[in-house]
């Protein structure tokens, strides 16, 4: 089987990571690559680490350029994916790495994104209950946000087992690639090295309703989320420190058991041995997720912490994993299980 894949938005960090993974995919042939302001340039000048694709030239992003492929990955500004998907037709697998089709609640979408809601596609986080089945054979995939990936995998087991109260408090650290390649002063190396700083504080970050949606589904009741993202001096990685008041009757044993069960059959989600904590370096460049959980009996809270690579499991790896499921390929194909460390 040879799957022909196109990538719209190949010059950005998500597109670059996707191409790194697809280069190692035995069933995928890399087709058209497109860009916006970078159209016409050699990929080697934009993504010098992608050696085998150095001589490829970016085409302008347009449905004609993307037609004729089996899979089309979209890394476009929000609000643009629906029109492209429409033109590609129902038989092409469209994997949207943007936010357009993640949220089920139109009001949430409009409040946080300010444009009309385009709809909801099968959600590309196979580890959530029911998600894998919805992806099988699907022609549309909404790849989750990087923070919601880390947070949902960390807290869903507690909510699914009824061990946590429905008010989650989350503080996450992200590497700078999460902010993309946009030229903004606060993203300069001189500014980020040696500094940790918060942004989007107080309930305004766009990933907040997506987390709430996932955790509410796991809990079977609405879960409110207090989310504070912080920018850390590293290129990649998310560490999500998540907590909630422990439900009445929760014990250290019941918490541990719930997580062991939730992670048991997942190829990429690893509950660490007790006493060992996640580190973003351990999952650098890999699709792995490290999780640890503990019950703080004095404070009465469940503390669950996860580490992912925001570009791999948090974006491009999640996209490939979901594509594999949709196409009926082995789920782990082309996805690194080991991090690049130190």
Q: Does 56 engage in binding with a copy of itself (CB under 8 A)?
A: no
Closest CA to 331 of 323, 339, 150: 323
State in angstroms the smallest separation of the CB of 226 from a copy of itself: 4
Instruction: Please pick, from the candidates 122, 148, 318, 339, the single residue that binds a copy of itself as defined by CB under 8 A.
Output: 339
Determine whether 242 is an active site residue: no
Q: Does 39 engage in binding with a copy of itself (CB under 8 A)?
A: no
State in angstroms the smallest separation of the CB of 129 from a copy of itself: 24
State in angstroms the smallest separation of the CB of 12 from a copy of itself: 10
Q: Does 37 engage in binding with a copy of itself (CB under 8 A)?
A: no
Q: Does 259 engage in binding with a copy of itself (CB under 8 A)?
A: no
Closest CA to 164 of 100, 249, 84: 249
Cα torsion 327, 332, 333, 335: sign: positive
Cα torsion 159, 263, 27, 54: sign: positive
Rounded to whole angstroms, what are the CA distances from 270 to 54, 210, 291, 294, 314? 35, 23, 6, 15, 15
Instruction: Please pick, from the candidates 63, 67, 82, 187, the single residue that binds a copy of itself as defined by CB under 8 A.
Output: 187
* Catalytic-role residue among 88, 93, 131, 146: 146
Q: CA–CA separation, 135 vs 336, rounded Å?
A: 21
Q: CA–CA separation, 322 vs 326, rounded Å?
A: 6
- Comparing CB distances to a copy of itself, the nearer of 84 and 283 is 283
Burial environment of residue 90 by CB neighbours within 10 A (0 to 12, 13 to 18, 19 or more): exposed
- Comparing CB distances to a copy of itself, the nearer of 66 and 238 is 238
What mask of x and - would describe binding to a copy of itself in positions 237 to 256, judged by CB under 8 A?
x-x-x-x-x-----------
Q: Does 45 engage in binding with a copy of itself (CB under 8 A)?
A: yes
State in angstroms the smallest separation of the CB of 245 from a copy of itself: 8
**Sites for a copy of itself among residues 78-137 (CB under 8 A):** none
Q: Does 290 engage in binding with a copy of itself (CB under 8 A)?
A: yes
State in angstroms the smallest separation of the CB of 228 from a copy of itself: 5
- φ/ψ bin of 326: left (φ > 0), alpha (ψ from -120 to 50), beta (otherwise): alpha
Rounded to whole angstroms, what are the CA distances from 92 to 66, 71, 122, 135, 310? 10, 6, 15, 14, 26
Q: Does 181 engage in binding with a copy of itself (CB under 8 A)?
A: yes
State in angstroms the smallest separation of the CB of 290 from a copy of itself: 7
Q: Which stretch binds a copy of itself (CB under 8 A): 40-48, 57-65, 97-105, 138-146?
A: 40-48
CA 181 and chain centroid, separation: 17
**Sites for a copy of itself among residues 305-324 (CB under 8 A):** 305, 307
- φ/ψ bin of 158: left (φ > 0), alpha (ψ from -120 to 50), beta (otherwise): alpha
**Residues forming the active site:** 146
């Amino acid at each position: 089987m040879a799957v022909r894949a196109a990538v719209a938005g190949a010059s950005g960090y998500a597109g670059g990571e996707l191409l790194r993974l697809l280069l190692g995919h035995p069933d995928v042939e890399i087709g058209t690559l497109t860009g916006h302001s970078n159209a016409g340039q050699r990929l080697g000048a934009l993504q010098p680490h992608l050696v085998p694709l150095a001589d490829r030239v970016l085409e302008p992003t347009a449905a004609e350029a993307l037609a004729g492929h089996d899979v089309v990955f979209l890394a476009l500004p929000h609000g643009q994916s629906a029109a492209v998907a429409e033109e590609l037709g129902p038989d092409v697998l469209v994997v949207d790495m943007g936010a357009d089709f993640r949220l089920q609640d139109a009001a949430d979408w409009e409040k946080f994104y300010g444009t009309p809601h385009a709809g909801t596609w099968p959600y590309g986080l196979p580890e959530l209950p029911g998600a894998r089945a919805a992806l099988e054979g699907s022609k549309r995939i909404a790849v989750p946000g990087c923070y919601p990936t880390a947070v949902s995998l960390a807290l869903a087991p507690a909510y699914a087992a009824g061990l946590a109260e429905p008010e989650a408090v989350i503080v996450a650290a992200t590497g700078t690639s999460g902010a993309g390649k946009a030229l903004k002063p606060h993203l300069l190396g001189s500014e980020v090295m040696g500094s940790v700083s918060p942004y989007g504080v107080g309930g305004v970050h766009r990933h907040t309703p997506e987390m709430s949606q996932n955790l509410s589904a796991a809990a079977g009741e609405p879960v409110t989320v207090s989310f504070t993202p912080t920018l850390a001096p590293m290129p990649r990685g998310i560490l999500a420190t998540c907590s909630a008041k422990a439900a009445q009757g929760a014990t250290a044993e019941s918490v541990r058991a719930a997580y062991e069960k939730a992670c048991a059959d997942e190829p990429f989600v690893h509950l660490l041995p007790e006493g060992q904590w996640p580190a973003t370096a351990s999952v650098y460049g890999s699709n792995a997720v490290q999780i640890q959980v503990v019950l703080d009996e004095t404070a009465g809270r469940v503390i669950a912490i996860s580490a992912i690579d925001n570009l791999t499991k948090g974006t491009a790896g999640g996209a490939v994993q979901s594509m594999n499921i949709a196409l009926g390929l082995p789920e782990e194909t082309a996805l690194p299980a080991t991090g690049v460390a130190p």
